[in-house]
Amino acid sequence: MHVAFVEPCFPNNQREFLRGLLSTGARVSAISERPIEALPRDLREGLFQFERVRSVVDEHAMAEAVKRLSQRVQVDRLEATVEAHVMAAAHVREGLGIQGTTSKTAWLCRDKPEMKAAARAAGIACAASARVTAIADAEAFSKDTGYPLILKPLDGAGAAGTHKVENDEQLHQVLGELQVAQGREVAIEEFLTGHEGFYDTLAVAGRVVLDFACHYYPNVLEAMRTRWISPQIVVTNRIDDEDYNDLRTMGQEVIDALGIWTSPTHMEWFAGDKGLKFSEIGCRPPGVGVWDLYCAANEFDLFAAWAHAIVHEDVPFKASRKYSAGMVALRPDQDGAITHYEGVEEMREQFGEHILDMHMPPAGTPTQGIEGGYMANAYVRLKHTDYDALRNIMNTIGETVKVKAR
């Protein structure tokens, strides 16, 4: 088996996927925008071949790189784990006859109106939605559905570029910001109230073999727009309880509906007064270091499990479900540069046995806007055998540890 992995150098956690592939004993080659020296020595020395390209989303360049890699040994798999690289890799696979995620599946996992149309056709509950190609489309949808509504770019990931609108004035303002009148297409959908979380899987031959459920506190839009909140992502170790049966069933149904075969997935969901609703799915792992939490919570190497799925279509790993794990993001009290922290030593003394790691940028580090996400500034990651106890610890940390800036 010869596997070509797209962009092992950036972001840094891409190295973990490369490490996982190397652990399988397969021939592993890499395609990157960066020089091979960007990789640690042990990973460089494990590679079979390396190709540098101007851009890994340049499909012609990627295809030519794969052809060069195939001159010595045929490339059997071409894998990409970053959202922006998935479609290009799918097109190259099809052009060269390589097994893996198809361009249709990759497209359905990127184009949110078509994604939801496929889900509805399979009988999966989701928010009302439509494609907006002109201002009149959005006006008609708002009249039929009512406010509030959500608008987002078709290829947006997470909350990036997402806007909530409450009335006609806000709708037209956001349509202008998103440049719909200039020909940009966006998705519009019903705003769902309720609790938000995500369901992540590793699928082999279309069937879920490993799965994990996470919860957002608070929901993403609120978290990304409110400075005083220290938002949390928490993976539960209670997923085997019957309360998660409907979520797990829906996850498999979405995988079936979109034709996902052997791949990691990242699926967002809402649960509220309208019941459990599918939000969206990516045919790739989640971001913000969530797989690190899964590894810590379940006492295994998920990166190696993914690699075995790709190379052997078999996963000889089992999740222990021993721990819940989570991350609490800590925001600076204002934009500027970090000056100091409050409450860090007290946190270490009280909760040190549960802390996995923490990121506390040194004094003088420029702050990043709160819209930058959960890892934009400071954060702490923890684990505990009891989900509720972990939540209480994370709440305490969010309330007492302060990041001061000026």
226 close to 318: Cβ distance less than 8 angstroms: no
Interacting residues of 8 by C-beta distance below 8 A, sequence separation 6+? 14, 15, 17, 18, 30, 32, 39, 43
pLDDT higher than 90, residue 154: no
Q: Report pLDDT for 308.
A: 98
Q: Report pLDDT for 193.
A: 87
**Residues of the chain above pLDDT 70, percent:** 99
Mean pLDDT to the nearest integer, 380-395? 98
Q: Report pLDDT for 115.
A: 95
Q: Report pLDDT for 158.
A: 54
At 183, the pLDDT band (50, 70, 90 cuts) reads: confident
pLDDT higher than 70, residue 160: no
Three-state DSSP string of 80-142: CCCHHHHHHHHHHHHHHCCECCCHHHHHHCCCHHHHHHHHHHCCCCECCEEEECCHHHHHHHH
At 121, the pLDDT band (50, 70, 90 cuts) reads: very high
The CA distance from 232 to 201, in Å, is 20
Mean pLDDT to the nearest integer, 97-120? 95
Mean pLDDT to the nearest integer, 370-382? 94
pLDDT higher than 90, residue 225: no
Average pLDDT, the chain: 95
The pTM of this model reads 0.93
pLDDT, one tens digit per residue, over 47-66 is 999 999 999 999 999 999 99
2 close to 48: Cβ distance less than 8 angstroms: yes
Q: Report pLDDT for 275.
A: 95
Which one has a higher pLDDT value, 182 or 357?
Answer: 357
Tokens of 9: 């150098």
Mean pLDDT to the nearest integer, 377-397? 98
CA 248 to chain centre: 18
Tokens of 335: 């934009």
Q: Report pLDDT for 371.
A: 86
At 131, the pLDDT band (50, 70, 90 cuts) reads: very high
Q: Which domains does the chain have, with CATH numbers?
A: 2-100 (3.40.50.20), 128-190 (3.30.1490.20), 195-405 (3.30.470.20)
At 369, the pLDDT band (50, 70, 90 cuts) reads: very high
Q: Report pLDDT for 322.
A: 98
CA 390 to chain centre: 22
